[in-house]
């Protein structure tokens, strides 16, 4: 059995949970999220905590037991405090700006790249930092990956769009290899 699945999920005061037969609706100050439950998984609210429990023992249910608990915990965090990822622009002349719900990236192509924010996602730009903010952890991560994929960091100069805490392993260029060779 999953050790993560057995842990209770603490509910903040401002978060409410509605448990239906096959879905969970979590509502809070940042909105509400809905997730359908896999067959064989039950959720119970007790004393300000959510408990996720399998309805019967089987290998297919235990495979999704801990995952379901983690997804519901991410929903609770998302509707109460939200999720955010910070990306960094590295490179001369690289810039980003927000126009409405559209992020416009100028990163060395002949044209600016536009990325539309889906429902519940907001972009903020401060100098070379792009912040992707929202209530759904999966959507925030996917949009951040989409922004990074426009111009991923390259290993020689480190130019590109990278996560703020990402470490780019640098390579030595051709000139560094020829210096060590003697004729």
pLDDT in tens, 62-101: 889 899 999 999 999 999 999 999 999 999 999 999 999 9
pLDDT, position 181? 56
Q: What CATH code would you report for 3-80?
A: 3.90.930.12
Residues 6+ away with beta carbon under 8 Å from 5:
52, 54, 65, 66, 68, 69
pLDDT, position 182? 58
pLDDT in tens, 93-109: 999 999 999 999 999 99
Task: Return the domain boundaries, the chain.
Answer: 3-80, 83-163
Do the domains at 3-80 and 83-163 have one common CATH topology?
Answer: yes
User: What is the mean pLDDT of the segment spanning 116-135?
Assistant: 95
pLDDT, position 55? 85
pLDDT, position 69? 93
| Rounded Cα gap, residues 108 and 74, in angstroms | 36
Topology given in CATH for the domain delimited by 83-163: Outer Surface Protein A; domain 3 (3.90.930)
């Amino acid at each position: 059995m999953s050790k993560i699945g057995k842990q209770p999920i603490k509910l903040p005061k401002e978060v409410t949970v509605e448990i239906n037969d096959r879905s969970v609706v979590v509502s809070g100050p940042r909105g509400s999220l809905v997730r359908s439950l896999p067959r064989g998984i039950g959720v119970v609210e007790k004393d300000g905590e959510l408990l996720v429990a399998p309805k019967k023992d089987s290998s297919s249910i235990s495979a999704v037991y801990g995952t379901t608990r983690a997804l519901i915990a991410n929903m609770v965090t998302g509707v109460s405090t939200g999720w955010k990822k910070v990306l960094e622009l590295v490179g001369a002349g690289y810039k980003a700006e927000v126009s409405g719900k559209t992020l416009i990236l100028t990163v060395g192509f002949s044209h600016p790249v536009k990325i539309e924010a889906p429902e519940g996602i907001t972009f903020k730009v401060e100098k070379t930092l792009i912040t992707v903010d929202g209530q759904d952890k999966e959507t925030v991560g996917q949009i951040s990956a989409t922004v990074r994929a426009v111009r991923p960091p390259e290993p020689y100069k480190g130019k590109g769009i990278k996560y703020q805490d990402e470490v780019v392993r640098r390579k030595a260029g051709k000139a560094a290899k020829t210096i060590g060779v003697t004729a």
